[in-house]
Chains A and B, each alone.
Chain A
Amino acid sequence: MKNIWLIYRKELRSYFTSPIAYVIMTLYAVIFGIFFYSAVKYFQQISMQAQMMGRSFPMNINEMIIRPVLMNTCVIGLFLIPMICMRLFAEEKRSGTIELLMTSPVRDIEIILGKWLAAVALYAITLALSAVNFTFLFTYGKPDWKPILIGYLGLMLQGCALLAIGTFFSTLTRNQIIAGVSSFCVFLCLWILGWFTEFDSTPVTKVLGYLSVVTHLEPFTKGLLDVKEVVYFLSAIFLGLFLTARSMESLRWRA
Chain B
Amino acid sequence: MIKVEGLTKRYGRTVAVNDISFEVEKGQVVGFLGPNGAGKTTTMRVLTCFLPPTAGTASVAGYDVLEQPLEVKRRIGYLPETPPLYPEMEVAEYLTFVGRLKGVPRSDIARRVDEVEGLCAIGDMRDKLISKLSKGYRQRVGLAQAIIHNPDVLILDEPTAGLDPKQIIETRELIKDLAKAGAHTIILSTHILPEVEQTCERVIIINKGQVVATDTVENLTHRLRGSESVAIEVESRDGKLDSAAAQRRLEQVAGVSRVVLKQSTDERAAFEVESLQKAAIRGDLARAVVESGWNLNELRSLSLSLEEIFLELTGPPPMPSEASK
Total number of A residues with any Cβ neighbor in B under 8 Å: 25
Q: In this assembly, does B22 line the interface, its C-beta being within 8 Å of a C-beta of chain A?
A: no
* Residue interface bits A87-101, CB-to-B below 8 A is 1, else 0: 000000001111111
For B76, the closest partner residue in chain A by CB is: A103
Q: CA of A95 to CA of B86 in the docked complex: distance in angstroms?
A: 8
Q: In this assembly, does B84 line the interface, its C-beta being within 8 Å of a C-beta of chain A?
A: yes
Total number of B residues with any Cβ neighbor in A under 8 Å: 28
- Give the A-B contact count at a CB cut-off of 8 A: 69
CB within 8 Å of A: which B98-131 residues: 98, 100-103
Among B81, B84, B98, B102, residue most surrounded by chain A Cβ atoms (within 10 Å): B84
B80 contacts which of A6, A96, A107, A253 (Cβ < 8 Å)?
A: A96
CB of A252 within 8 A of CB of B97, answer no
Query: Contacts of A10 on B, CB cut-off 8 Å?
Result: 86, 89, 97
A13 to chain B, nearest CB (A): 8
For B73, the closest partner residue in chain A by CB is: A105
CB of A97 within 8 A of CB of B70, answer no
CB of A17 within 8 A of CB of B100, answer no
CB of A96 within 8 A of CB of B78, answer no
Known contacts A14-B86, A96-B80, A99-B84, A107 near B70 by CB under 8 Å: yes
Q: In this assembly, does A255 line the interface, its C-beta being within 8 Å of a C-beta of chain B?
A: yes
Known contacts A252-B50, A252-B51, A255-B51, A104 near B82 by CB under 8 Å: no
B13 to chain A, nearest CB (A): 14
Query: Contacts of A14 on B, CB cut-off 8 Å?
Result: 86, 88-89
Known contacts A96-B82, A100-B98, A105 near B74 by CB under 8 Å: yes
Known contacts A252-B51, A252-B52, A103 near B88 by CB under 8 Å: no
For A5, the closest partner residue in chain B by CB is: B100
For A111, the closest partner residue in chain B by CB is: B101
Q: In this assembly, does A3 line the interface, its C-beta being within 8 Å of a C-beta of chain B?
A: yes
Q: In this assembly, does A18 line the interface, its C-beta being within 8 Å of a C-beta of chain B?
A: yes
CB within 8 Å of A: which B37-88 residues: 45, 48-52, 70-71, 73-74, 76, 78, 80-82, 84-88
Binding site for B on A (CB under 8 A): 2-3, 6-7, 10, 13-14, 17-18, 95-107, 252-253, 255
